Amino acid sequence: MLDAHLMNTVVAAALAEDAPAGDITSTLVIPADAHATAVLAAREPGILAGAEVFAAAFTLTDPSVHVELLRHDGEAFAAGDELARVNGPARAVLTGERVALNFAQRMSGIATLTRQYVDAIAGTNAVILDTRKTTPTLRAFERHAVVCGGGTNHRFSLSDAFMAKDNHLAVLTGGGLDLTAALQRVKSQLPHGMVFEVEVDRIDQIEPVLAGGVDVIMLDNFSLDDLRAGVAQIAGRAKIEASGGVNLTTVAAIAATGVDYVSVGALTHSARALDLGLDVRIS
């Protein structure tokens, strides 16, 4: 998902945003021949994500900057651990610092939060999924971070899978069209192999949706009792995704109802940036 071309394109745009006419402060304060070394250090425990993105922020600023990654994406670390070392022209190191940290802190925060959700449902058969509730233009970065934390990516975009939610169904059946018939018609038009998922918010919608031939049925904002009843009613005829009302307090009980997936928007829309620091020394 996070290929080199995409990564470099986005990081270059971030650098251009941060220093559109160069880094005035570093240019005026730091001698052109000054060399700097810096250490990326963890100020709290977490899961690393965005190590290559961190490095790219420096090498795209100046290709002569060398970044040594001491930990890799998906690895756990403790407070005080060194995660990377940076060596190169001091101006370039200082210019790239903020963008590098922004990406590493944001992505590691997502990975760390995801790992908390994955750990919370250990012992169940459920899988933690992310959603499309991502920062515009940064979806590949944020969903890469979800995988680093042990989560699984849902559809990447509106082009990847058929997923009808409540508003789609309202329009689809607004003219009095039978829900099952409407879904069967849609299924006949889907590209071969494309996932066919439909959201329901009431138990009485389950049978008509199943009859439409769905692969996955999303039970949205169901109570725990209704989730258990829905799992029993579906009885393996489709995969089951639970969504709505999911947080670290509720996720274990939701997963224990027997659903296959639990989708969590908070992984990407509410993760806080992890506290990482870059300590720079001029030599």
Set 132, 155, 165, 237: catalytic member: 165
Are 143 and 130 in contact, with CB atoms under 8 Å apart?
yes
91 classed as catalytic: no
97 classed as catalytic: no
239 classed as catalytic: no
Set 85, 98, 228, 237: catalytic member: 98
Q: What are phi and psi of 209, to 5 degrees?
A: -70, -40
DSSP result, the chain: ---HHHHHHHHHHHHHHH-BTB-HHHHHHS-TT-EEEEEEEESS-EE---HHHHHHHHHTT-TT-EEEESS-TT-EE-TT-EEEEEEEEHHHHHHHHHHHHHHHHHHHHHHHHHHHHHHHTTTSS-EEE--S---TT-HHHHHHHHHHTT-B---SSTTT-EEE-HHHHHHHTTTS--HHHHHHHHHHHSPTT--EEEEESSGGGHHHHHHTT-SEEEEES--HHHHHHHHHHHTTSSEEEEESS--TTTHHHHHTTT-SEEE-THHHHSPPPP-EEEEEEE-
Set 130, 142, 197, 199: catalytic member: 199
Set 71, 85, 132, 133: catalytic member: 133
The residues annotated with a catalytic role in the active site are 98, 133, 165, 199, 220
